[in-house]
Structure 1
C-alpha cells in the first residue's frame, strides 16, 4: 500500500474532517510519520487567527520541501477556503487544493490530481472515519457553521451559517464507535449550545442528552458552549445526566460590559456571571477563553477581566492575544491597541491564570477520582491517566508512580488517589 502523511492543524472540528479523509483513503494508503517517504501528504489547515495561519503556511512550505518528487501534496481546510483566490497562485508546489466543502471527495481529487472548492460547507453524516490519537476516545461533530456575529471572528465568513446534524444520526455514530471499542466521547461544534436552533428547536442539546443517557457504558462531555444560548436549564440537565460529565467549556471572551458590546457578544454581564456560578453549584470542571487587547479595551477593562479571572478561579483558561482579522467588524475599528500593550496584557493575564490553575489542581489533592489510563509517558517512567471529567489533550493528565493493580489496560477506568502536586503536575496512585 502507498503511504500517507497527514498534518491536521487547528481545532478538533478540523480533526474530525481529517479523520473523514483518512476513511476515504484507508483502502489505498497507510499512515506514516515520515513525510519524506509519503506518496501523499495532506495539510488540513486552520485559518482562525494569525498564528494559526502562519503555522499552516509554514507546514505547507516545509512539506513541499520534504516530499519526494513523485508524491502528491494536498491542502484542504479553513485557510485554503479563506484565501482560495490567493494561495494556489502563491504556492504552486501544491498539487491539490480544496476548502471546507470536499473532505468526503479527497480520494477523487487525489486520484485525478485536481482542485475543487465546493460552495457548500461539508458536514459529516454517516461517513466512516479513521479515529486517530486514541483507542478509546473519539470526537463527535454536532454541527457546522455559526449564526453569531462576534466582532473579532471571521469563521462565519467561510464556514457559513449554523447547520446541525439530526439527533438519530449522532446517536447512531456514537453507537457504531462504541461497537468498535470507543467509550469516551467529546461533542464539538463552533457553538454547541445553539445545536438544532437552525431547525427551530431551542432545547436541542437537552434533547440530545436525553438520547445519550440511554446508551450504557460511555462517558460524554460537551465542548464550546456560547453564553447567549446557554441556559440554567441546560446546566441543570447536564448535572442530572448519568452519562454527560459536569464539564463546561464556555468561552466568555471578556467580562467588561463595555467590551462585550464592542465584541458584539449578546447578553449582559449579570447573566454571564449567573450562568458561571450556576455551573459551580455541583462539582464540575469549568474552562473558558478570553481575548486581551481587542480594539476599545481600556486599562480599566483589562483590570476588570483580570480581577474576575482571579476571583472566579476557572479550572482552565485560554488567553488569546487579539488578532486583527480582515472581514471582521473589529478590523475596521479605529481604537486599536498597540501590539506591545496586547503582548504585555496577555503575559500579565497568563501569570494570573497560572495561579488560578494551580489552585484548581489543589482541589484534587487527597481525593480519589475515576480516571482513564492513556498509557506510559514518553520517557516510560510513569503511567499517564486522565480524570473522566477532563477533556483529552487540553486539560492535562495525572502521573502515576504506583499501582495496586497489575496488568493495566489502556482505555480502562481506574480509581486514582491523588497524592502530590509538583509544580502544575498532579501525581497519584492507582488503588483497588
Structure 2
C-alpha cells in the first residue's frame, strides 16, 4: 500500500464559505483523487485541516503546530478578508492563516507551500510585502460578477491547478515533522517496544544485538494501519537462506504503535512511523570446550581460568553476523520506499559481551571479549544508504569481531562480507 502524503489545509471563514473554505476543500479532494488514480504515483494523499480526526479534548494550538510540522505540503487560503483605513488602504489576509503559513515556512520550507486566493475580494498582486516577492498564489474568482463561469467550472479549474501544484511538491518526497521533537517521539515508541518485550535471555545476560532503524523525521502514520504494515513487510522482506526476513510474519500482534512478533528467538517490531526494531540473541544455551588451538597464544592463556565456556558466554559468529546482515538488508529495502533525500538513522547496540567467545569454525573460537558493549551508528540520506549499505554493515561487523581477536587474527571488511555470502563490490 502507498505511503501517506499529508497535505494540511489552512482555511479562513471570514468570506462566504461556499466560495472559499468549502470550494477550496472540494478542489483539493478532487486533485488528491486524480493523483491517487495515477499508476505512476507512489503516494496516497490525505488532506487534513484544523484538528479534524483528533480524539478527546486535544490542545488545539499544540495540535495545529504539530500537524504543520508533520505535513508534506501546506495549502493556505490567502483571500483578503479586510483592509486598513490608512491613506493608501492595504488588503489583509486572515491573521491565523498567515501565522500558520509562517510557521510552515520555517519548519518544512517554502517549496512545500501552496497558496490560493479568491480575487473576488482583491487582486493577488496586492499581497503584503513579504509574500509579494514569492511565487504568486493560485488565483480564482468566485462568484463571477459577469456570470461567465459557474461554481462547478471554477471548481474544476481550481482542482486542475491544485493538482499540478501538488504534483510538483510530490517530487520532493516525504518530509515529516522537523520541529526538533522527532527523535524524542521515536524514542518514546522504542521505549514502549523494549518494555513490552522482556526477553528471558535478557534476564540471563546472554549476549545480544539490538538493531534499530528509523527515518529521521517522525511521521505518526507513514502507513495507516496493520494491513498496510503487513503489505510493506511482504514487499520489502529479503530472502535470507531459504526464508524471509524478518521471520514469522504471520500471527503478528497489532499494537497501538504498529506490529510486534516474538516467536522463538526472533523478536521484531515495525511501527506506523517507519521504525524497525529487532533483538538478535546469539548466546548458546549449552557449554562448549576450548581446544589447544583456541588457547595456543600466551595472551589468551592469561585471560582464561578454565577450558570450559559456560552457557550464554559464547555464540556462533556467522549466525550473529548473518542476522545482523539480514537486518541491514531489510532496512535497505525499506529505505528504498523513502524519498532519496530523506535522512535515515541506524543504531546497533551489542551488550553483555564481556568474557564472551565467538566460534567461527569448530577449531576457531575467538575471545574472550574484554569490552562489555559496542555501539555503532549510521546516519545518511536514503540514497546514500541504499548505495553503501554493504560497507556500512561490514564496518559494524568488523568492529564487532575485532573485540574478540586476541592473537592478531582479524577479519577485513571484505572478510565480513564473505562470511555472509555477499558480493564484494
TM-score normalised by length of structure 2: 0.26
The structure, 1 or 2, with the larger RCO (C-alpha pairs under 8 Å, 6+ apart) is 2
- Of structures 1 and 2, the larger Rg is shown by 2
TM-score normalised by length of structure 1: 0.26
